[in-house]
Amino acid sequence: MPKHLAIYLDGPMQSWGYMSKFDRRTSLAYPTKSAIIGMLCAAMGIPKSDEERLAEIADLKMTAYVLSPPNRMTDFHTVGGGFDKKLHPQNIVKKASGSSGDTVVTRREYLLDAKFAVILSGKPDLLQQLESALINPLWGIWLGRKSCVPTVPISHGCHDSIENALKSAKSAYLKTYNKKCEVRRTVSEAAKFADGSDSFMDIPVNFAERKFSIRRVCIE
């Protein structure tokens, strides 16, 4: 019988990038599967190019719950500005031609004060390994970007049902804020295409080469 790992995501800033390229990096309003798998791989110390381990974790079913609707902030970044090209060449952004470019301006979107529950369902042995890794991660874990650090423990145990797993994740909100929360939105994986309402290219195949496959979801 499958087990269900409860994950609770809470932090002052989160950013779940999807199809964001070049100088404008947006965020979805809820966690992507690629970001969650990336977090789990970091916790377990799995290299970005290990396709076999990635496939094993990606096979888990994921359901995301929005517990607190986020506000949004767009942060203004500059990269490569104010450095001497001779003294600090490593800090200068290169052009495609290989020559030194000018300061690069980027705008990156963050979710503020968001709270999510994520339930992963699948093989009990694998989920127990992931639970242990999240409690004592080998590499750093964050909520989408390295600047987005979780404020409370992420892992909230393996459970026999999705209902109990969600209850455990919601209890973390109750303990932190001394009030109950309600699910505002649910993003689950569709069993077949007709059951879904949207499709995301967010199942990682090889992080090093940025290869992804498609996932059909149902948003309620």
Query: Can you give the residue ranges of every domain in the chain?
Result: 3-72+112-219
Q: Determine the pLDDT at residue 67.
A: 95
Q: At what angle do helices 33-44 and 124-135 cross, to 10 degrees?
A: 70
| 166 contacts 65 by C-beta, under 8 angstroms | yes
Out of 11-20, 73-82, 106-115, 177-186, pick the least confident.
73-82
Mean per-residue pLDDT over the chain, rounded: 89
- Give the C-alpha distances (Å, rounded to integers) separating 182 from 66, 144, 171, 174, 177: 9, 23, 11, 11, 13
What's the average model confidence in pLDDT over 41-69?
94
Looking at the chain, the whole-number percentage of residues with pLDDT higher than 70 is 89
CA 136 from chain center: how many Å? 18
What gap in Å lies between CA 157 and CA 168, rounded to an integer? 8
pLDDT band at residue 42 under the 50/70/90 scheme: very high
CA distance 204 to 56: 11
C-alpha separations of 89 from 81, 97, 100, 102, 128 in Å: 11, 15, 8, 12, 46
- Given this model, what pLDDT does residue 101 score? 60
Predicted TM-score (pTM) of this structure = 0.86
Which CATH architecture best describes the domain 3-72+112-219?
A: 2-Layer Sandwich (3.30)
Residues 164-183 as b/e (b if ≥16 CB within 10 A, e otherwise) read: ebbebbbebbeeeeeeebee
Q: At 78, which amino acid appears?
A: T
Whether the per-residue pLDDT at 150 is higher than 70: the answer is yes
Six-digit token string for 12:
């002052």
- Which of 6, 4, 30, 28 lies closest to 18, judged by CA? 28
d(CA 89, CA 163): 54
pLDDT at residue 96 in the model: 60
pLDDT at 193 over 90: yes
Average pLDDT over residues 160-169: 96
